Every structure is written in structure tokens, then in C-alpha cells.
Amino acid sequence: MGSAGGALIKPVEQGVSPLSAMGAVFGRDVRVAFRQRQDLLNPLLFFVMVVSLFPLGVSPEVSFLQQSGAGILWVAALLAVLLSLDHLFRHDFDDGTLEQLVLQPQPLFLLVLAKTLAHWMLTGLPLVILAPVLGVMVHLDGNSIAILCLTLLIGTPVLSLIGSIGAALTLGLRSAGVLLSLLIIPLYIPVLIFGTGTVAAAAEGAPVGGYLALMGAFLVLALTLAPFASAAALRISLSNS
């Protein structure tokens, strides 16, 4: 048992409330992530590089970038989250911690939710923070940048929650990264469409309340269903490993 896994055993035990168990799992994942800084930096560097290279490879014209900038940022954010998903359960699977999580008396879906929230805080939230700087780079106006950040703030947790299902299903498989992409990208399309559509509507002066309400509905639906699906997928993957 590695030291990362061992840190989980003491706080998550019989008699501990589910919320305390979630806090222990969340805190442990954050501490472990900061010991493996490369896994934290790779999605951010990828996000910045894709957005920075896109004007060089397609067109540096201001009008084109203003029209397509939101889509560029959203696609880059989606791919950056996808890049980090393979590590969501992989390290715990390798050192045996994941098996201990499944055997805990607390509901597994809550522990999975805590791990997914930690993943979003370490991956999705930094993307939201970087988005204004990159939005200026693609010549978005102030209102469009604000709406873009709001859509990313709502949408990136959905990407992490949906991605956790794919990460759990492909756990322990060969070519897991390729299979994960094939499974998850089609499910990401509605979030991508409404995320970019909200910014486009704001740029045209149209009301965006309906778009934001739909994205909020996606978030509520993902929060409600994804942890249960991920927990079930983890049990299946562990039973087959």
C-alpha cells in the first residue's frame, strides 16, 4: 500500500459521517495532486497552447477570432478536461486505494462525487480562471468574456462528472485513453453547443437566460445521476480486474 492510499484509511472508517468521509477523500485527492504537479500542469499548458496556436494555424484576423473565439476556448477546455480524466481513478487503482474505497461503509457514490469535485477544482476551475486572459487574446469583448467564464463555471463540472463515468468504465483496460475519448466526447457535445451558443447570443445582444438555465439543468442532472453511474462502473471494473 502506497502512502497516498494509506492516508485514506484512518479518516474513512466505521462511524464516520458520509460528509466527513467525503471531506477526507476530497482533501486527500487535493494533497496527492499537489505532490504530482505534472498532472496538474499538463491540462493547463495544453489549454493555453491550443488557444495560442489556433490563430497561427487558421487565421489571425480580428473579426474571425471574435466570431470563433468562444468556440476555440470551449473546445480547448473540453480537450484539456478529457486529457486529465485518465488519472481520476488510475493512481488509486494502481496502489489499491480504490478497492478500499469500494469496501468502505459510506455510500460509494458520495466518495466518487468527492473525487470528481476534487478533479474539477484542480482542473476545471483553473481553466475558468485562465479563460479571461485567453479571451482577450482572441479579441472577445468584456461582456462576452464574462459570459464565457460563467458558462465554463457551469459547464466544466458537467464535463468532470460525465467524464468520471467513462474513466470508471475504462479503468484497467488497454488503450483506455482512446476508449475514454470515444465514450465521452459524444456526451460532451450538448454542453459544448450550449456553452458556445450562450456566448454567441450574448455577443449579438440576445437574452442568454434560457441558455444558462439549460446549462444549469445539465449540471443538476449530472450531479444527480453521474455519481451513481460512476460508482456502478467502478464496481464492474474492479470485479473484472
* Cα 202 from chain centre: 25
When pLDDT is cut at 50, 70 and 90, the band that residue 10 belongs to is: very low
pLDDT, position 1: 37
CA dist 102 → 72, 140, 206 (Å): 39, 46, 48
Residue 132, domain extent: 3-240
Report the alpha-carbon angle 193-217-180, nearest 5.
55
Tens-digit pLDDT profile for residues 104-133:
888 899 999 999 999 999 999 999 999 999
Considering its fold, how many domains does the chain have in total? 1
pTM: 0.88
In this prediction, residue 92 carries a pLDDT of 85
Give CA separation, 126 vs 69, 94, 157, in Å: 19, 27, 12
Lowest mean pLDDT among 5-9, 69-73, 103-107: 5-9
**pLDDT surpassing 50 at residue 46:** yes
What DSSP designation does 15 have?
T
For 10-19, 85-94, 191-200, 229-238, which range has the lowest pLDDT when averaged over its residues? 10-19
Close Cβ partners of 58 (under 8 Å, ≥ 6 residues apart): 64
Residues 7-31 have a mean pLDDT of 73
Grade residue 103 by pLDDT with cuts at 50, 70 and 90: confident
Q: What is the rounded distance in angstroms from the CA atom of residue 121 to the CA atom of residue 160?
A: 10
**Following DSSP, what letter does each residue of 206-226 receive, concatenated?**
---HHHHHHHHHHHHHHHHHH
Provide the 10 A C-beta neighbour count for residue 125: 14
CA distance 117 to 187: 19
Q: Are 143 and 122 in contact (CB under 8 A)?
A: no
Percent of the chain beyond pLDDT 90? 51
Residue 21 has pLDDT above 80, yes or no: yes
Instruction: List, for residues 175-219, the tens digit of each pLDDT value.
Output: 777 888 888 999 999 999 999 999 999 988 889 999 999 999 999
> What Rg value do the Cα atoms of the chain yield, rounded?
19
| Helices 125-137 & 142-169 angle (0-180, nearest 10) | 140
CA separation, residue 179 to residues 6, 90, 98, 203, 227 (Å): 30, 15, 21, 36, 20
